[in-house]
A and B are shown apart, each in its own frame.
Chain A
Amino acid sequence: MTLEEFVTAFADEFDETPAESFAPATVYKDLDEWGSLTALSIIALAMEGFGKKITGADLRSVDTIEDLYNLIQTK
């Protein structure tokens, strides 16, 4: 999965936030819709898209979608 595809898939996990709001540099924790529900969806996305297991702590440890993409690669 490329960074671009990841951003699209990431955006797809959100129901309220428009897709245009998502870019590699988006600080996802600042989004109104960010919360336990979306966090759990992203954890599942990492597993489905990359076969990588990430935790809530991982999600807290970085800021942008690109940071997270890179973090997942290191797993």
Chain B
Amino acid sequence: MENPFSLEGKCILVTGASSGIGRGIAVACAKMGAKVLLSGRNEARLQETLSLMSGDGHTVLCGDLNSEETRKEVVEKIPDLNGVVYCAGISQIQMAKRMEQSSLEGIFQTNVFSPLMLNTLLLKKKKIKKDSSIIFISSISGVYRSQIGEGGYGATKAALTGYVKSLALELAAQGIRVNTIHPGVVETPLLEVSNGTFGEEELEALRQKYPLKRFGKPEDIAHCAVYLLSDASSWMTGSNLLIDGGFTLK
């Protein structure tokens, strides 16, 4: 039988493809037969992602999506898409008592405003084809749970969930599906932000709180993304897919 999870013949844009979850998704999409457009800020690290990918016809799009000008330039270079995965994101630990508008604006810019405005541009330019799949990488933080100092980060991740529900309705007529993935802690360079504050000992204690006794791997999240990008999930839209090794169970 034909593999319903195949991405053969699909063209997928992945933002934040230079490391972590974005890199894992780009590699998995290529493995499943897609042509991938890799967006990120660091050319060398994007090339490194590219070197890990199978197949050919992939494209590197280097630039900071926080800049409106760059978003326009990037969209000009993009062919018709069958899928978009918005992975680019930053983390921040800041307690409510000490919150500063500038850093709050910074994290909202990267995690919310930039992906939303890039999406607007892609829609305006009709780059997202009928029956495509759009994914926003959210988090367990925000909608499902939180921890101290995570108010700003959680707010950005919860914002994506609200946006996606409306977008899913707006695009349903074209058969375009929109979903979020909510990963628990994944072993990525982003974790070092927390690591710098909490140290390895705290991280190990946190790891042990996961019923499956480990943090996620980028591949775990990538396989979720492959499912949502593929025709296997044709009837799924507006969903929040939780993948957290059982962390939110207790």
Contact = CB atoms under 8 A, between A and B. Distances in A.
A53 B199 CA distance: 12
A56 interface: yes
Contacts of B98: 41, 44, 48
A1 interface: no
Contacts, number: 30
Interface of B: 93-95, 97-98, 148-149, 196-202
A28 B230 CA distance: 54
Contact of B197 (A37, A48, A55, A60): A55
A12 B87 CA distance: 39
Contacts of A55: 196-199
A37 B196 contact: no
A40 B199 contact: no
A43 interface: yes
28 contacts: A36-B148, A37-B95, A37-B148, A40-B93, A40-B95, A40-B148, A40-B149, A40-B197, A41-B97, A41-B98, A43-B197, A44-B94, A44-B95, A44-B98, A48-B98, A53-B196, A55-B196, A55-B197, A55-B198, A55-B199, A56-B197, A56-B198, A56-B199, A56-B202, A57-B199, A57-B200, A57-B201, A60-B201
A20 B94 CA distance: 28
Contacts of A36: 148
Given A36-B148, A55-B196, A41 B201 contact: no
A35 B201 CA distance: 15
Question: Which of the four size classes fits the interface of chain A?
Answer: 10 to 19
A60 B149 CA distance: 19
B152 to A, nearest CB: 13
Most chain B beta carbons < 10 A, residue from A41, A56, A60: A56
Contacts of B148: 36-37, 40
Given A53-B196, A55-B196, A56-B202, 8 more contacts: A37-B95, A41-B95, A43-B197, A55-B198, A55-B199, A56-B199, A57-B201, A60-B201
A55 B200 CA distance: 10
Interface string A8-48: 00000000000000000000000000001100110110001
Contacts of A56: 197-199, 201-202
